[in-house]
Structure 1
Amino acid sequence: METNTISTALIESEADGLVSRLDQIKPFVMQETMVLAAALPRDAQLLIERFLHAGRHELRVQVAEFLDWLHGDGRTASPAEQQRRFVLIRLQFNVVLAQFDLFTEVVTQRSEHSTGVWLSGLDILAQDALRLERNHDDGDARLVVYLARGAGAAIRRAKTRLPGGKPNPVGIIRLPRERMVGSGIASSLAHEVGHQGAAQLDLVTSLRAELDRRAQQDPDGGWDVWSLWISEIVADMWSVATVGITSTVGLLAVVSLPRYFVFRPGGTDPHPMPYLRVLISAALGDALYPHPQWRGLASVWRAMYPPAGLPAEHLAWIGKCEAHIGDLVSLLVNHPVPAAGGRKLGTIWPTRERQPERLLRLHQDWGGDFGVMARQRPALVFAVLGQAKAAGRITAEEESSQLSSLLTAWAVRSSLDDMGAPARLAGSPAHHLTTPALTTRR
C-alpha cells in the first residue's frame, strides 16, 4: 500500500476520533447533578453554554472541511501537508477541551452538599458588589464563584482572553475554601469583584496615568511604587467601599504571614508589601468612613509586625512609603472617573449606608430577624455583620451561622425568581445548546 494511502487512512481515523470524543462533551445542563438552588445564575449559565457550544460547532465545521479536503484535493497531498493540517485541528480540539475544563471546575462544585447552595448565594453577593449605586445591574459582567485550596483568591475577568483567544463570557472568581463561611470571605470576594469593576470603569489606566504624572513632578513622593501596585490597591478600595471594616479585617487575616514575607520587597509584583497593604486599606476606610476603629486597627497591625530590626535602608524606604499613604488615599478618593461622568472615585459607592455607626444601628434594628436580613442587599448584610463582629456585638460562630443561612436563602429566592421569569438574554432556544453528531461526506 502506498505511503500516501496509509497516511490518509491514519489521519482520517484520527480526525474521526476527534469527532467521537467531541460528541462525548455534553452541555452542563445535561450532565451535572445539583439542587436547583445551587445552579449558576441563569444568565451566566446561558452565556457559558452558548460560548462552549459555539466552540464545539466551529471545531466540527473545521473537521468536516478538513475531511472534505482529505477526500478531495488533499488525497494527493504529501503526508507532511496532511499531518500539518490535522495537527492544527487537534490543537484547536485541545483548546475546546481546555475551555470546557475551565468551566467544569465552576459547575461541578454546585453538586457538593451545602457548598453548592452557598456558592449560588456568593454569586448573588458578587453581582451585588459590582452594582455600585445603580438600581439595576444591566450591562455589568456576569460573575460566578468557585472554591479552591490555598489562601489566595483570584479572578479571571469577563472579556479577558481564554485559551484559543476568545473572550471569557463570564467573570470567574476563585475563593479559598478555608474562608467558608464568614464575613471574611466577603473581603476576598469584594476585592476580586473590584478587579472586574475597575476594568469596566477603566480605573487602573486613568489612575496610573495620574500617578505617573505625580512621580515625574515629585520623584521622592513614592508615586512610582503606588503606580506599580495600583491595580491591587484599587481592588482593595472597592472591597473596603463595599463591605467596610470587614474588608480590612479579612485582608489582615490573609496577609498574616511569617515576618519575612510581611516585609519582603515585592520587586515587580503588583501586590503591595503586606505590611503597607493593610495600612493602606485602613487609611482608605478612614477616608471613606471616618471612625477611630481604623486607626486602632492600624495600630494593632503595627504592634503585630514592628518594623524595628529591619536593615536600615529597607526600614527607611518603608517609612517613606508609610509617610505618603495619606497622599495616595487623597488622590484616590478625589480622582475623577471619566466612565462615571467625572464623579470622584470616593463617591461612586454607597458610602453613606456603610458608615460604622449606621451599620451598628442597622444591626440593632434588625434584631437578628432572619426575614428582615434576607430582604436586604447582600453586600450590606455582610458589612453589617462584619461591623457587628468587629465591635464585639456577635461572635464569629454567630456570624458564620447567620451568613450560611442567608446565603442559602438568597440562593433559593434567586432560583425561584428564575423559574418565574424569562431569561434576560436574547438568543436561540435551548435545543440549540445540544450538538448533533457531525455527518461528513466520503
Structure 2
Amino acid sequence: MVRNYLQNEATSMLSRLGQLQPFSLSTPMVAAASPSDEALRAVTDHLINTKKELRAKVSSFLEKLKTQGIDGFASASEAQASYAILKLRFNNILDQQDIFADVITQRTEHQTGVWIAGLDVIASDALLPQKGLYQTTPMMCFLERGHGAAIRRARTRLPGGDLNPVAIIQVPRERMVGSGIASSLIHEVGHQGAALLSLVESLRETLKKRIGLAPQPEKLAWTLYERWISEIVADFWALGHLGITATQGLMGVVSLPEYFMFRVKLDDPHPFPWIRVKLSLAIGALLFPDRQWQKFEQLWQHIYPISRLDEEKRSIIAQLEAVMPAFAELLIGHRSNALQNFTLGSLFPSEARQPERLRELYSQLMNRPETAIKVPPSLVFAIIGQARADGRITATREGNLLSRFLNHWAMSRAESRGSNQKGIILNHFNNGKETSKKAG
C-alpha cells in the first residue's frame, strides 16, 4: 500500500511538473513590452534546467520503488521522507516561477508593459561594462507599490538555493513617469554594479583602516559611513550617471515626516534620510561643480531644519558633516584590485554630463527631438532632470517627453530582435513538448 501511494504521488508530481509552460508560450504581451532576449532566455533556460533536474530525481525515485519496492529504503517512513524532499524541491521551483511571473505578467498591462520594457533599457545602459572591468548581466524591471525600489541581484540565491540568472529590479509605481524614476532605478543598478566590482568589500577595508587612524572625535562618523557604505555606493552610481537628477529623485523618495527623517539608528545599514541627501549633495558638488548644489542644500535645510532636534542628534550630525568632505574625496578616489588602475569616480561619464553640457544638450533636444534617438537613455534622463532642476520644463511636459522616450526604447529593442526572437520561442516550445511527453 505504501509503495502504491508513493508511486501515485510521485507520478502525479511528474505530471504537474510537465504542465509548467515557458513564459514565451503562456504570457501574452505586445512585442515592445517583452523582456530582452538575454533575460528571457536566461530565465527560461534556468527553469527548464531545474525542472529537468527534478524530473530526473523523481524518475530515479520511481525506478527504485518499481525495482526494489519499500525494501529499497530503510523503512516506509524513510521512503516517505525521500518523497517529501522531492515535493519541497517542486515547491521551490514553483516559488521561482512565481517570482519571474510577477515580473513578466505585469507587461501585459496596456502602456505600462511598454514603459517597463523601456526601464529595462535604461537599467542595461546604466550597467554597461565600465572600462571593461566586468561582464554585464540581463536585467528585468517591474513596478510595485510603495516609496522605494529594490533589487534581487543576479547570482544571489533563489528559494531552494539556485542562483538567480537575472537581475530583477522593483521600482515604485508612484514615480512613473518622471525623471525621479531613473534615480530609483539606477540606484538599484548600482547595487548590482557594486557586487560585480566587489566595491562594498574593498571600500569597507579602506574605511576600517581610516577608522583606525582617525582621532577620537571622528571615529563615530567614519564608523557610520563604513556601516552605510552599501547604500552610499548605490547612490554614487546614480549620481555618476544622472547628476542633479539623482539627488532630486532621492529627495522625492525620502521626503517623509520629520520623525522618520532624523530617526538615527546607529546599527542600521541605511543612512537616515536627512544625512543621505546631504551626502548626495556633497558628492554631487565634487563630481559636477555648479552653484545649484548650494541652492538645493539650502532648500533641504530649510524644509528639514535641525534646530528642533535634541542635542545628541545634533552632535551626531555635526560629526558626520565634519568629515563628509574627506569621505566624499575618499569615495571618488577609491582604488582596488577589481578597479585595476582606475578610480571609482573615473568609471562614470561625469565629464560629458557636467551641468552646462546638459543645459546645452537640452536646448538641442528641444530644437531637434529626433536627435535623442542616438543618445544613451541614462543621458536623456540626466538632460531632462537638469532642465527640471533649472525650472526650464514643467512636470507635465517632462512626463510626456519621458513617456515617448520609454516607448521608443522599448519599440527599438523589439524591432532589433527579428528572427532571433522566433528562434527562442521555438526552442522553448520544443522543450515544453519534451517535458509533456516525459511527464506522460
Question: Would you say same fold, with TM above 0.5?
Answer: yes
Deviation readout 1:308-359 (Å, 9 max, x if unpaired): 1222122111111122111110100111142232211111101111101100
**Secondary structure of 1:437 counterpart:** helix
**Deviation at residue 420 of structure 1 after TM alignment:** 5.6
Q: Is the contact made by 1:130 and 1:193 (CA closer than 8 Å) also made in structure 2?
A: yes
**Secondary structure of 2:168 counterpart:** strand
- Are positions 1:200 and 2:199 aligned together? no
**Secondary structure of 1:324 counterpart:** helix
The match for 2:126 is: 129
**Secondary structure of 1:241 counterpart:** helix
The match for 2:142 is: 146
- Are positions 1:81 and 2:68 aligned together? no
Q: Is the contact made by 1:43 and 1:424 (CA closer than 8 Å) also made in structure 2?
A: no
- Are positions 1:50 and 2:45 aligned together? yes
Structure 1 CA distance, aligned partners of 2:95 and 2:69? 29
Give 2:16's match in structure 1, choosing from 18, 21, 29.
Answer: 21
The match for 1:3 is: none
The match for 2:112 is: 115
Give 2:92's match in structure 1, choosing from 95, 101, 107.
Answer: 95
One-letter code aligned to 2:286: A
- Are positions 1:65 and 2:65 aligned together? no
One-letter code aligned to 1:197: G
The match for 1:174 is: 170
**Secondary structure of 1:147 counterpart:** strand
Deviating above 3 A after TM superposition, structure 1's stretches of 4 or more consecutive aligned residues are 420-425, 428-433, 438-441
Deviation readout 1:40-64 (Å, 9 max, x if unpaired): 0011110110001001111111110
Report which stretch shifted further, 174-183 or 362-371.
Answer: 362-371
One-letter code aligned to 1:243: L
Report which stretch shifted further, 349-358 or 16-25.
Answer: 16-25
**Deviation at residue 19 of structure 1 after TM alignment:** 1.5
Number of matched residues? 433
One-letter code aligned to 1:277: R
Give 2:34's match in structure 1, choosing from 39, 43, 49.
Answer: 39
One-letter code aligned to 2:251: L
The match for 1:163 is: 159
Unaligned residue ranges in structure 1 (runs of 5+)? 1-5
**Secondary structure of 1:146 counterpart:** strand
**Secondary structure of 2:307 counterpart:** coil
Deviation readout 1:417-439 (Å, 9 max, x if unpaired): 111668999xx944554242364
Give the superposed CA RMSD.
Answer: 2.0
Structure 2 CA distance, aligned partners of 1:417 and 1:285? 36
- Are positions 1:361 and 2:360 aligned together? yes
Structure 2 CA distance, aligned partners of 1:116 and 1:338? 40
**Secondary structure of 1:158 counterpart:** coil
Deviation readout 1:117-140 (Å, 9 max, x if unpaired): 111111000000112655x89820
Structure 2 CA distance, aligned partners of 1:132 and 1:390? 29
One-letter code aligned to 2:169: I
- Are positions 1:242 and 2:241 aligned together? yes
The match for 1:294 is: 293
Q: Is the contact made by 2:37 and 2:421 (CA closer than 8 Å) also made in structure 1?
A: no
The match for 1:409 is: 408
Give 1:209's match in structure 2, choosing from 205, 210, 231.
Answer: 205
Deviation readout 1:395-426 (Å, 9 max, x if unpaired): 1110110010111011111111111668999x
One-letter code aligned to 1:244: G
**Secondary structure of 2:228 counterpart:** helix
1:440–1:326 distance in 2 versus 1, CA, 3 Å:
closer
Structure 1 CA distance, aligned partners of 2:367 and 2:106? 30
Structure 1 CA distance, aligned partners of 2:142 and 2:283? 28
Structure 2 CA distance, aligned partners of 1:439 and 1:331? 59
The match for 1:190 is: 186
**Secondary structure of 1:172 counterpart:** strand
Structure 2 CA distance, aligned partners of 1:418 and 1:220? 58
**Deviation at residue 82 of structure 1 after TM alignment:** 1.2
Instruction: Output the TM-score relative to the length of structure 2.
Output: 0.94
Q: Is the contact made by 1:15 and 1:63 (CA closer than 8 Å) also made in structure 2?
A: yes
**Secondary structure of 2:169 counterpart:** strand
Structure 2 CA distance, aligned partners of 1:36 and 1:95? 30
One-letter code aligned to 2:238: S
Q: Is the contact made by 1:201 and 1:337 (CA closer than 8 Å) also made in structure 2?
A: no
- Decide which structure has greater helix share: 2
1:57–1:255 distance in 2 versus 1, CA, 3 Å:
same
